[in-house]
Copies of this chain bind each other. A is one copy, B any other.
Amino acid sequence: MMATSGKDACGLNGEEPSVSLTSNNDKSLVNGATTEASALSKRQNGGGTGAERFAFSPEPTIEDIRRMQAQFTDERDWNQFHQPRNLLLAMVGEVGEVSELFQWRGEVAEGLPDWTEAEREHLAQELSDVLIYLVELAEKCRVDLPQAVLRKMALNRLKYPANKVHGSAKKYTEYKD
């Protein structure tokens, strides 16, 4: 069941969510993953009960981000620059900035155990930039991004039935019935 009044029920009706520098689950795993992160990461993210698994804060929602970014753009009279293709190129640029942070390294383990706090925060900023432009691009294309993701995930479950693809990295076109 979807709570259609979820946004209001969450007390986010036009208010800007406050910035929290700590995680919602009070563990030092948000950006500040330290030595314990690498030890925990396999157990947490490698499958399992999920009880202690890393999680995001519930807010802001994608719609909150859309609304805040729209206000930011409006206030600066920047809609004249924010056509779909410009926003796409802006997003591509930000994906490039994320890529720079991972280039010339060897394999990077889950939880980024060898990264400094400054590197983690830099990554958090670049990932955020990708999301902000992705959200604004979807808005300007009139794509209801949260609902589109639900449809795509339903499609992915059909394309990749768990019992058929377990442990395999093949593309769905490579499977034979």
Q: Which residue of B lies closest to A111 (CB)?
A: B142
* CB < 8 Å neighbour of A139 from B10, B48, B56, B66: B56
A residues 36-89 near B (Cβ < 8 Å) are 37, 41, 45-48, 50, 53-63, 65-70, 72, 74-81, 83-85, 88
**Could you list 11 A-B pairs, sorted by A, with CB under 8 Å?**
A4-B58, A6-B12, A56-B145, A57-B63, A76-B165, A84-B102, A84-B109, A111-B142, A112-B141, A123-B141, A125-B155
Which residue in chain B gives the minimum CB-CB distance to A110?
A: B140
Identical copies of this chain, number: 2
Question: Is A152 within 8 A of B123, CB to CB?
Answer: no
A151 in contact (CB, < 8 A): yes
Asked if B152 contacts A125 (CB within 8 A), the reply is yes
Which residues of chain B come closer than 8 Å to A108, judged between CB atoms? 83-85
Expressed in whole angstroms, the Cα–Cα distance for A149 and B68 within the complex equals 10
